[in-house]
């Protein structure tokens, strides 16, 4: 009746359809199409509201809000002007061209001529991809003229594309003396502050030239180029000054200043945290057979650059400047690189550390963050993750899997909890951190198109090693492609259901109680394969273990077809339950295959 009412009819007015599954009520209606032009305004308003704009503004005496002031709205359907008001501006086919290079105003003939008219009459390249391609082409050409390679950072290219109407690229330069400063500091200010494109030589060394975008194209660009050179010079001078100021001291000397920089009030200063990371780095280094002394040295120097003048001013150079300052101080190469790679991977797709010392320090850094923040109950909520716990967990996972690092994660987490001691307020910290990391594996495998059921099947047996977890996942993925997989999964589910309802003590299978050939054959086959399968398990060869397990499929099917488990004879029943328990242990060693289907 509710369905009928929602459709504006009575039950008697509904049509009836009889099928093998029963009788159905249905209604036939005709929906007439709406005029396209009449739909556009509401669709457009809805689309604008759904844009992820973090901060809106209003302008003049208007109450409507948008990311920037809106001066014109043009809504055309073919040659028809759609009469509407968007963001307080009435639609018109008269729009603005480029302020200096094109017609100040032009009248559009139709929607189809929009791009062409705006380009030819207004000197505006409306097509975003066209502007982007033009910028990349022009910057690359300048780099080639200098026998170099341009830094066409995706984010920078996207931003520059969005701030010009017609892109014109020019070359400028700066004094070579600035190249004595680590290039990352120079590049940081060139890209971040000025939106310039740095250019490197074929060996990756920064050249004293750069490309910049302009929205105008003067006949004589001399003033335009010198103006941009004049603007960037003070920023490069700042970087030079900060670098020279920092180099009056060793990197290690900045550690004392970390005592006065609070990392988090419940955990302590950056110096306190560094000492914890140092102890953990030694523990990790010993576990993965890395040089513990180098790992300890890198860990204690890792945050020193946060107290330097350069990093205070250019925060994105943390780790980078620490690496350069350590190299200039004569520190071991692995130590210097570990200072930089403690933050790796910095973003999705970034490289992970690949050398033992660097791996140990990076893992220690991430575990200290995870355990420390979970320990004071500051878990990430929704999309808010101020301490980067999700990034730390994914980074930890990638480092271990991509380097085939065998590390007992549970013991490492527990040791980290010991190091933090009384700072830990959450009594479930160890288990919470472990669950958090293993649950991040789900997203990691989703990116590799591995089904959630495969991940869940392995998660259910709770491996203590991420590498072991990964090997199990890959083995289960391959197992699922076998023709026997579905039947074995169903059989395991059936076994688990039977055993869950039975109160069975840990008794051995007694062959003298066999009365059916099917149970004799199954148990004989299990005994024959068990040694082989368990050997594969012990070696971590889960792929072969599951492949061998698949050989039991026919015997398991035959057992359930020919044998009744819950018989009246208590001894026989318990013996058959013991067979199932033996089989269950063998089948459940890699993963809970019952969740695969």
Do 552 and 422 lie in a common domain? no
Q: Is the residue at 192 inside a domain?
A: yes
Do 176 and 315 lie in a common domain? no
pLDDT for 504 equals 64
Do 223 and 280 lie in a common domain? no
Contact 57, 68 (CB under 8 A): yes
- The 10s digit of each residue's pLDDT in 518-556 is 999 999 999 999 999 999 988 889 999 999 989 999 999
- The 10s digit of each residue's pLDDT in 575-590 is 999 999 998 888 888 9
**Into how many domains does the chain fold?**
3
Q: Among 435, 466, 487, which residue terminates a domain? A: 435
Contact 588, 459 (CB under 8 A): no
Do 374 and 272 lie in a common domain? yes
Domain with 146, as residue range(s), is 128-246
Average pLDDT over residues 425-431: 93
At a CB cut-off of 8 Å and minimum separation 6, what does 76 contact? 82, 93, 108, 110, 111, 114
Q: Among 246, 270, 302, which residue terminates a domain? A: 246
Give yes or no for residue 419 having a pLDDT over 70: yes
Confidence of residue 426 (pLDDT cuts 50, 70, 90): very high
Q: Is the residue at 226 inside a domain?
A: yes
Q: Is the residue at 40 inside a domain?
A: no
CATH number reported for the structural domain that contains residue 502 in this entry: 1.10.730
- The 10s digit of each residue's pLDDT in 283-304 is 999 999 999 999 999 999 999 9
Do 242 and 273 lie in a common domain? no
pLDDT for 24 equals 92
- The 10s digit of each residue's pLDDT in 136-186 is 999 999 999 999 999 999 999 999 999 999 999 999 999 999 999 999 999
% of the chain exceeding 70 in pLDDT? 100
Do 232 and 142 lie in a common domain? yes
Average pLDDT over residues 99-123: 94
Q: Is the residue at 17 inside a domain?
A: no
Do 306 and 374 lie in a common domain? yes
Give yes or no for residue 570 having a pLDDT over 90: no
Do 390 and 505 lie in a common domain? no
Do 268 and 235 lie in a common domain? no
Q: Among 184, 218, 246, which residue terminates a domain? A: 246
Q: Give the burial class of 411: count Cβ atoms within 10 A of its Cβ; 0-12 exposed, 13-18 middle, 19 or more buried.
A: middle
Give yes or no for residue 196 having a pLDDT over 80: yes
Q: Is the residue at 92 inside a domain?
A: no
What is the pTM for the complete model shown? 0.77
Do 331 and 351 lie in a common domain? yes
Residue 536: count other Cβ atoms within 10 Å of its Cβ. 21
Q: Is the residue at 448 inside a domain?
A: no
Q: Is the residue at 155 inside a domain?
A: yes
Do 428 and 480 lie in a common domain? no
- The 10s digit of each residue's pLDDT in 479-517 is 999 888 888 888 888 888 888 887 766 778 888 899 899
Q: Is the residue at 339 inside a domain?
A: yes
Do 260 and 407 lie in a common domain? yes
CA 197 vs CA 151, 189, 210: distances in Å: 6, 11, 6
Average pLDDT over residues 449-471: 92
% of the chain exceeding 90 in pLDDT? 73
């Amino acid at each position: 009746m509710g369905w009928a009412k929602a459709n504006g009819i009575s039950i008697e007015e509904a049509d009836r359809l009889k099928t093998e599954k029963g009788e159905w009520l249905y209604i036939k209606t005709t929906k007439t199409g709406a005029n396209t032009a009449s739909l556009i305004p509401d669709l457009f308003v809805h689309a604008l509201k759904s844009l992820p704009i973090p901060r809106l503004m209003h302008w003049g005496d208007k109450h409507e809000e948008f990311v920037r002031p809106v001066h014109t709205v043009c809504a055309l359907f073919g040659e028809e002007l759609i009469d509407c008001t968007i963001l307080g501006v009435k639609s018109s086919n008269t729009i603005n061209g480029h302020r200096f290079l094109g017609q100040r105003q032009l009248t559009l003939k139709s929607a189809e001529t929009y791009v062409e008219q705006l380009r030819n009459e207004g000197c505006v390249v409306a097509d975003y991809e066209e502007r982007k391609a033009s910028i990349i082409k022009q910057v690359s050409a300048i780099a080639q003229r200098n026998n170099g390679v341009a830094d066409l950072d995706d984010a920078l290219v996207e931003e520059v594309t969005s701030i010009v109407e017609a892109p014109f690229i020019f070359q400028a330069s700066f004094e070579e003396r600035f190249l004595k400063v680590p290039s990352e500091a120079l590049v940081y200010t060139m890209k971040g502050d000025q939106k310039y494109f740095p250019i490197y030589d074929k060996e990756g060394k920064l050249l004293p030239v750069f490309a910049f975008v302009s929205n105008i194209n003067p006949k004589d660009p001399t003033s335009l180029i010198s103006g941009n050179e004049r603007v960037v010079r003070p920023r490069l001078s700042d970087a030079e000054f900060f670098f020279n100021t920092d180099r009056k001291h060793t990197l290690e000397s900045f550690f004392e200043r970390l005592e006065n920089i609070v990392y988090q009030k419940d955990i302590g200063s950056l110096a306190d945290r560094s000492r914890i990371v140092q102890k953990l780095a030694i523990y990790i280094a010993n576990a993965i057979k890395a040089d513990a002394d180098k790992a300890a040295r890198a860990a204690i120097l890792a945050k020193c650059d946060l107290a330097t003048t350069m990093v205070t001013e250019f925060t994105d150079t943390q780790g980078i400047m620490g690496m350069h300052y350590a190299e200039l101080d004569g520190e071991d190469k692995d130590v210097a690189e570990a200072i930089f790679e403690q933050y790796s991977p910095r973003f999705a797709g970034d490289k992970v550390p690949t050398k033992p010392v660097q791996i140990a320090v990076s893992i220690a850094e991430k575990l200290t963050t995870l355990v420390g923040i979970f320990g004071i109950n500051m878990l990430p909520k929704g999309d808010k993750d101020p301490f980067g716990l999700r990034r730390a967990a994914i980074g930890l996972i990638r480092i271990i899997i991509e380097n085939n690092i065998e590390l007992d994660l549970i013991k490492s987490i527990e040791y980290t909890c010991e190091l933090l001691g009384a700072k830990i307020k959450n009594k479930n910290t160890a288990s919470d951190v472990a669950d958090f990391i293993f649950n991040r594996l789900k997203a990691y495998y989703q990116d590799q198109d591995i089904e959630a059921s495969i991940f869940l099947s392995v998660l259910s047996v709770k491996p203590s090693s991420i590498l072991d977890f990964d090997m199990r996942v890959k083995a289960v993925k391959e197992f699922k492609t076998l023709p026997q997989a579905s039947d074995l999964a169903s059989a395991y589910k059936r076994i688990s259901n039977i055993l869950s309802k039975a109160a069975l003590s840990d008794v051995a299978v007694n062959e003298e109680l066999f009365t059916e050939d099917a149970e004799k054959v199954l148990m004989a086959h299990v005994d024959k394969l068990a040694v082989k399968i368990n050997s594969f398990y012990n070696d971590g060869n889960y792929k072969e273990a599951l492949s061998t397990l698949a050989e039991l499929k026919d015997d398991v099917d035959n057992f359930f077809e020919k044998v009744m488990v819950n018989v009246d004879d208590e001894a026989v029943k318990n013996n058959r339950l013991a067979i199932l328990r033996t089989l269950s242990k063998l089948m459940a060693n890699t993963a809970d295959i019952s969740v695969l289907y």
